[in-house]
Amino acid sequence: MSKALLAYGYAARIPVVVLTVFAIRGNWGTHYDALPPGFSETSFWTRYIQTALVPQLIFWITFTVVVGTLFGSIATAIRGRQNVGAPVHREA
């Protein structure tokens, strides 16, 4: 399950990281290039690493895997409890 979540995390976040390069360079004025309150103006690469690369490829992927695994485990445990005592059908 974690491998699938990791693959999904990268598949969802890599396009955002690429898009953010263009948004910051082009000064689009969207949430992709907006700075958080109190964030001082820095060079392109410093801003990109601090506001896009690290959050997207480290925080959000870790969040996706951890939370997805947690809820997947809970769902599996609930599903497993529902099957306890159920008759097993075997073909002869």
* pLDDT value for 17: 97
What stretch of H or E contains 90?
none
What stretch of H or E contains 51?
none
* pLDDT value for 39: 87
* pLDDT value for 6: 95
pLDDT over threshold 80, residue 21: yes
Distances (CA, A) of 67 to 32, 53, 57: 24, 20, 16
Mean pLDDT, range 4-12, rounded to an integer: 95
* 48 SS3 class: helix
* 28 SS3 class: coil
What is the distance between the alpha carbons of residues 28 and 59, in angstroms, rounded to a whole number? 24
The whole-model pTM stands at 0.75
51-91 pLDDT, tens per residue?
Answer: 999 999 999 999 999 999 999 999 988 887 766 565 666 77
